Chains A and B, each alone.
Chain A
């Protein structure tokens, strides 16, 4: 099966061409845009971990190492499309339209962190595993029923493929030919359980065969491979040619969450060595150097401006006024039924509010 679903690459770990099909489209402008977005998300991620360590936000879910998978795929989506992230996909959602402030607010425990900007169809992060595959299928199916060419992309990890909703999502999408991109980030671990204990199959992409849909396995740390192959899947979906299952093979360097210690279940030396060998940002840097796109001053200025942007977002997050407790009560139903209304009044009274 690994032979049937080879890990597609466009550039290799040394930043050299492996597949020149897209050479004409890989411009300096595109490359710099991808690099900028990846560096932006990495700096954001590191800031998130730091803020958690300082007690300035709650538990945080890091994604460092998975930038190419998330950004390459999000870049392949268009205006009006739908995105269904998990709690680890802030790089994807910031690429698709979330502000950094919104993402920090989410980890600050604020409901506002679930709300996309006007006109951006970004669903709140799915916390239950694999449930969101069905929402993406339903939203895509709705677009098909409306006769538009809009598509959905849904993110999930390797552990999600063991859940029933993974299979129900693929099956429904296949039966109804819904325009969905099922984007799996196979980072090797579902918290502490390695993929070898998660499934007997050698690849996740091969599971597409059972559902008579396209299955693609690619190097999730090669941002070009992710971008162009996802774009192909999106084009297919828009043309009514149905869903695609993409397996992006990647790695998370850090813990599952800031509440977790990865040294308990894996050899962290491997993570350290991967930083040198397979890192998605370093690979793009090597490619840019090979192609004479690299400019030290540009890189230094970029680092500086992104750091300033992130610091400004942290400041905005921290200066956001505390939410009013009525937000607990006022958004459960369109109109409060009496039990909630009476609880709201009683709580206000207990606080001495009128």
Chain B
């Protein structure tokens, strides 16, 4: 017997809002703060309606100061609250980097657990929405390389709500990255109530035996298109949505590449120091003898994300991914 679950068709940004609403209803100590998150509902309307439902004490418009938002959230978090701090764009997080690097991520370690900062930082990120300069950065590797932070990225509405709920329930700081391109690109059935999508777990989006394609966030749409093209050419892709960038899902990565023997890693962040390098070393550690071809990466360039007249050149395209898939299969 199965239990019917009420669902609604939601976009990703609506699912994010719903995730916050569910947790704010359940836990009095969950608060939302950031620039324009109150009456305006956030620049992407991710907090739309929350102030009307929960009041200005729990949905707080802050002064325009990213370090201030994160720094006070640290104080709130270690004194009994569960702050969800919104950065308007990941590219605006730099003034808060010091607070995240020197305090949020290491208070637990510095005090052997006597103080902790269970908080969530939400940040829209990525290029492809024709945003002004600095708004489109993908600097997730700054945070995956930061001891003490979890970094996660949903790519669809269902995961967005379930992963956000898990992030809010997590006892440690979580950077919750929201790919702007996915905010309204699709609608999906999302359960009304509370459910969890666990952090640290990847998802297999398509079964295939010839090559594994790894991606996350807005690149999922790109690799799914590439996988379809590859299939027309007789190449079957195992497509893995990483979802959790720190920690990575080591088991699923190893299991997939040990099956296919070939890997293409796709992300829009710069190649050097990017997550692709970490995944390559993980494959080296777990699956070297299974590999039939060198691993290919399709990434953004080691350049600032250009202004939007040029961003299509910067962003990995399905064509580039197909070329990489062909290269590893023809090696």
Contact = CB atoms under 8 A, between A and B. Distances in A.
A and B bind:
yes
A337 B68 contact: no
Nearest to B68: A168
Interface stretch (A55-63, A68-76, A107-115, A290-298): A107-115
Interface in A318-346: 327, 331-334, 337-339
B71 A138 contact: yes
Interface residues of B, number: 46
Given A145-B57, A171-B68, A332 B109 contact: yes
A146 B95 CA distance: 29
Interface stretch (B19-27, B96-104, B132-140, B297-305): B96-104
A175 B112 contact: no
Contacts, number: 133
Interface stretch (B40-48, B75-83, B233-241, B266-274): B75-83
B108 A333 contact: yes
B108 A131 contact: no
A141 to B, nearest CB: 6
Interface residues of A, number: 40
Given A134-B99, A164-B95, A331 B72 contact: no
A131 B103 contact: yes
B71 A137 contact: yes
Given A331-B108, A338-B250, A339-B247, A172 B63 contact: yes
B158 interface: no
A341 to B, nearest CB: 10
Interface in A136-193: 136-143, 145-146, 152, 164-165, 168-169, 171-172, 175
Contact of B72 (A137, A327, A332): A137
Contact of B80 (A123, A142, A327, A332): A142
A171 B111 CA distance: 28
B71 to A, nearest CB: 3
Given A139-B78, A139-B79, A134 B68 contact: yes
A26 interface: no
Interface in A107-138: 111-112, 114-116, 123-124, 127-128, 131, 133-138
18 contacts: A111-B111, A115-B111, A123-B115, A127-B102, A134-B75, A138-B73, A140-B75, A164-B65, A165-B71, A165-B99, A171-B63, A172-B63, A175-B63, A331-B111, A333-B148, A334-B113, A334-B116, A337-B150
Counting from the closest, the 8 A-B pairs by CB-CB distance are A138-B75, A134-B71, A168-B68, A337-B247, A138-B72, A142-B79, A334-B171, A139-B75
